Structure 1
Amino acid sequence: MVNFFKNLGPGILVSAAFIGPGTVTVCSLAGVNFGYSLLWALLISVFACMILQEMAARLGLITGEGLSDVIRKNIKGKFARFLTLLLIFSAIVIGNAAYEAGNISGAVLGAETLFPGKNFGFGDLQINLWSIVMGGLAFVLLLLGSYKKLEKIFIFLVIIMSVAFVVTAVVTKPDISLLLAGFVPGNFDAGLLTIIALVGTTVVPYNLFLHASLVSEKWKDEKFLGIARKELIFSIGLGGLVSMAILICAASSNLTDISSGGDLAVGLEPLFGESAKYFLAIGLLAAGITSSITAPLAAAYVVKGCLGWKDGIGSRKFQSVWISILILGIIFSSLGIKPVEIIKFAQIANGLVLPIIAIFLFYMVNQTSILGKYKNSLIQNILGIVVILLAMFLGVKSIYSVIVSF
């Protein structure tokens, strides 16, 4: 057990990435708008996340490279390789900019619950001071902190959030019969965009790249494959438990709408009383900061692999990528759009990008030339195909819903 906890790292960082403001907001919205009825969608999302992240971790461990590195080296034909890398580059970099805006906006929600926000003009652009502060804090941690040193901080924050939300969910005394009924699939059309957002906030495309890269750096031998799998199952399972606890808290509250950190805090009052908003504010700050670090870092790993850079996290080129994502996130979070709307958009955008990335990952883990005896088994292929089809179905339905709405 001691050795297991010593090996915690990549999986916990993946959980820290998806237990961000998006998770808090989307799960709260799902609970407020649909009660417990979408717990089944969240449970499926957690299993789908485990399946895809296992493939990414296995690929990183066996090859010793990140996902984008493997794709660049194994797509035959210059034109096909160029189009593939351009698609991945665009999807992850642009998607992460939107995701980063959601992360920073979530942290801003927490900060503004504690202290009033302040905007200042920059031409026609109104910049939120807290967006600058949150982005600046993420910048300092990425610039000065070794990611290995940050592992303990991430582990601590994830455990604290897990205990707090799970205990809160129990204390709210949810209706057990309704809660159990929520794990039975249903309510598809009414909560379609919310279902897509739940998938997007749990199965995050950039985490597939981040996980493969972190595993390839942490473990250098195939003998660690077993511990890597156990670590990701534990970490993602813990993250899924937190997500469900947040949904249960919101469903057990008497909320009818969510638009601010104060609104989200109401669901926590049965345990924390009037101090609930302060607890949630701290939780959103922690979640926003951790996610604000992982999103730019993942984008930098993607660009590094796509362009074949040899230098890693300390190089100027690598730093220029995550700095760009941070700046875009700060700007997008300061456009006067409600933070909750930015966060919802980021989750839906990720849900649309997911099928593309999942297909590339699935292709790579089926190549004997890449993974040898560690390539996908029949059962892993069946599970992978089911996850990809589910992601494609949700993506198509989302696009159709948007078109019909116009």
Structure 2
Amino acid sequence: MNEKKLTFKDYAKALGPGAIMSAAIIGPGTVTTASTQGANYGYTALWILLLACLIAYFFQEPATRISIGCKESVMVGVREYISPGVAKFLWVVLFVGSIAFQAGNLSGASMALTYFFPGTTNLLWAIIMSVLALVIVLLNRYKIIEGVNQILIILMVLAFVLTACTSGPNIGDMFTEGFSFKIPGGNAILAVSLLATTVTPNLVLGYSSFLRKKYPDSKSPKNDIKLAKADLGLNMFITFLITGAIIVCAGTLLHPKGIQISSAADMAQQLTPLLGRFAGIFFSLGLWAAAISSVLYQISIHNMLFPPAFELDENPKAKHNVIITCLVVLIPIILIVIFGSSPVQLIIAAQALNGIALPMVCIISWILCNKKSLLGDFVNNLRQNIIMGIVTALTLLFAINALYSVIQKVIAMF
């Protein structure tokens, strides 16, 4: 089949799934990690962030060939070519992670909104944001989810990049310190935490499902794969731009003054006396966009991942899919009512499961990409195998760090 020459219009129309993934990566946890890295160590973490975004690109890239070239989601590939049990285990990991971390996402959105509306409660905003996200998902219109996430990404770029520019960073120091390839503060565990918050087990599985929505029946798979990779590459760069802007802002304003912060909300509060109320408003707006995009992502992926994992009807309106979606909305709100956030034990369990699942997903993708019977002409070449080998080794490092963190937390509980 002859593939037509791609135009700028083709690339513009292909934008979408990458924005959803970028918006999913940049949640309250990423904003907090980037803020604390900048406040504690200045610009020195920028090179680690760039590496993280490169790893995130190559971690997700196999989904373009499986989802578009083979017209199957990665989860279906796991079930049919690896094991139904592995597919079910991966879904359970993602479900527990969604429940555990969704409360944090909702709290991030709520903290941002209480900055604009003092006196309101986190629970009120958590309920409002959850219902809003649920309505968007239940409309079952991929274009709406794509459009909302693109708007949120633009909002984050404007909010965080404008705040960083206003802070007056030294461009020379940004490059000399930011790309000195030194471990910030000599603390390798903190450095790995920035990598780990950018690469999570659900990325390749979720991305694959959104690609199936974007390209349900590709007539020009080679071109569509090329377009999808361009979209993904652009949005991983935007991920670097947004998160890097947060590091730069904290590194410029807070690090020289020795100001310590423990959350993204602290960052917004500290910016107000330094740059004026508008800086706090912009940062809080960016935090809200980061939080609500992560909320939307966690709610939207399960009616696409649960059915193929258990070989059930994939119609989003099927009873089991609606129930699963509603559970991802309701359980975090219940946790906020009872505990104020997810209980520590649940977060620890989710982190442990993520630590196990991340390299597992990477290895599974690697195996699938070498199956000629599945991928045909899109099977891995030598260069792709080398890259996936490097990414797998790095995800194993992330997993070891995550499990080490879990062990420390468990020990601290006794």
Give me the TM-score of the superposition, normalised by structure 2. Answer: 0.85
Q: How many residues align?
A: 393
Residue 3, structure 1, aligned to residue 10, structure 2: yes
Is 1:253–1:266's contact at 8 Å kept on the other side of the alignment? no
Aligned residue for 1:280, secondary structure, equals helix
Give the counterpart of 2:383 among 370, 373, 379.
379
Task: Tell me which amino acid in the other structure corresponds to 2:363.
Answer: I
Is 1:92–1:302's contact at 8 Å kept on the other side of the alignment? no
Distance 1:212 1:271, change over 3 A: farther
Match of residue 180 from structure 2? 184
Is 1:102–1:333's contact at 8 Å kept on the other side of the alignment? no
Residue 174, structure 1, aligned to residue 176, structure 2: no
Match of residue 289 from structure 1? 292
Aligned residue for 1:203, secondary structure, equals coil
| CA distance in 2 between partners of 1:349 and 1:197 (Å) | 16
Task: Tell me which amino acid in the other structure corresponds to 1:182.
Answer: G
| CA distance in 2 between partners of 1:44 and 1:316 (Å) | 42
Task: Tell me which amino acid in the other structure corresponds to 1:240.
Answer: F
Match of residue 194 from structure 1? 190
State the Cα distance separating 1:320 from its structure 2 match. Answer: 1.6
| CA distance in 2 between partners of 1:338 and 1:315 (Å) | 30
Residue 26, structure 1, aligned to residue 21, structure 2: no
Match of residue 122 from structure 1? none
Task: Tell me which amino acid in the other structure corresponds to 1:33.
Answer: N
State the Cα distance separating 1:104 from its structure 2 match. Answer: 1.1
Q: Which residues in structure 2 correspond to 1:127-138 (within 5 Å)?
A: 128-138=123-133
Bigger drift between 90-99 and 391-400 goes to 391-400
Aligned residue for 2:315, secondary structure, equals coil
Match of residue 152 from structure 2? 157
Residue 106, structure 1, aligned to residue 108, structure 2: yes
| CA distance in 2 between partners of 1:100 and 1:203 (Å) | 17
Match of residue 96 from structure 1? 98
Give the counterpart of 1:308 among 302, 308, 311.
311
Q: Which residues in structure 2 correspond to 1:54-133 (within 5 Å)?
A: 54-75=61-82, 81-116=83-118, 128-133=123-128
Distance 1:272 1:51, change over 3 A: same
Distance 1:72 1:19, change over 3 A: same
Distance 1:188 1:286, change over 3 A: closer
| CA distance in 2 between partners of 1:271 and 1:163 (Å) | 19
State the Cα distance separating 1:167 from its structure 2 match. Answer: 3.0
- The superposition leaves residues 281-326 of structure 1 with CA deviations (integer Å, 9 ceiling, x where unpaired) of 3222222222111112223322111111233323222222121112
Residue 298, structure 1, aligned to residue 301, structure 2: yes
| CA distance in 2 between partners of 1:247 and 1:352 (Å) | 29
| CA distance in 2 between partners of 1:316 and 1:367 (Å) | 34
Give me the CA root mean square deviation. Answer: 2.9
State the Cα distance separating 1:88 from its structure 2 match. Answer: 0.8
Aligned residue for 1:202, secondary structure, equals coil
Distance 1:380 1:117, change over 3 A: farther
Is 1:111–1:285's contact at 8 Å kept on the other side of the alignment? yes
| CA distance in 1 between partners of 2:203 and 2:312 (Å) | 20
Match of residue 124 from structure 1? none
| CA distance in 2 between partners of 1:73 and 1:107 (Å) | 38
| CA distance in 2 between partners of 1:163 and 1:364 (Å) | 39
State the Cα distance separating 1:3 from its structure 2 match. Answer: 2.9
Task: Tell me which amino acid in the other structure corresponds to 2:224.
Answer: F
Aligned residue for 2:197, secondary structure, equals helix
Residue 276, structure 1, aligned to residue 279, structure 2: yes
Is 1:199–1:351's contact at 8 Å kept on the other side of the alignment? no
- The superposition leaves residues 111-169 of structure 1 with CA deviations (integer Å, 9 ceiling, x where unpaired) of 222234666xxxxxxx9333222222212222236221232222122123213322332
Aligned residue for 1:210, secondary structure, equals helix
Give me the TM-score of the superposition, normalised by structure 1. Answer: 0.87
| CA distance in 2 between partners of 1:183 and 1:349 (Å) | 33
Give the counterpart of 2:136 among 129, 138, 141.
141
Distance 1:228 1:401, change over 3 A: closer
State the Cα distance separating 1:22 from its structure 2 match. Answer: 2.2
Distance 1:153 1:271, change over 3 A: farther
| CA distance in 2 between partners of 1:258 and 1:322 (Å) | 35
State the Cα distance separating 1:68 from its structure 2 match. Answer: 1.0
- The superposition leaves residues 78-120 of structure 1 with CA deviations (integer Å, 9 ceiling, x where unpaired) of xxx243123212211111222322221211111222234666x
Match of residue 360 from structure 1? 364
| CA distance in 2 between partners of 1:348 and 1:43 (Å) | 25
Gaps of 5+ in 1: 76-80, 120-126
Is 1:205–1:357's contact at 8 Å kept on the other side of the alignment? yes
- The superposition leaves residues 166-212 of structure 1 with CA deviations (integer Å, 9 ceiling, x where unpaired) of 23323322234442222233327854443343223322321211211
Residue 37, structure 1, aligned to residue 44, structure 2: yes
| CA distance in 2 between partners of 1:152 and 1:300 (Å) | 19
| CA distance in 1 between partners of 2:405 and 2:319 (Å) | 42
Residue 397, structure 1, aligned to residue 401, structure 2: yes
Task: Tell me which amino acid in the other structure corresponds to 1:206.
Answer: N
Residue 324, structure 1, aligned to residue 319, structure 2: no
Is 1:113–1:281's contact at 8 Å kept on the other side of the alignment? yes
- The superposition leaves residues 204-230 of structure 1 with CA deviations (integer Å, 9 ceiling, x where unpaired) of 321211211111221222131111111
Is 1:60–1:212's contact at 8 Å kept on the other side of the alignment? yes
Match of residue 14 from structure 1? 21
State the Cα distance separating 1:360 from its structure 2 match. Answer: 1.3
Distance 1:267 1:158, change over 3 A: farther
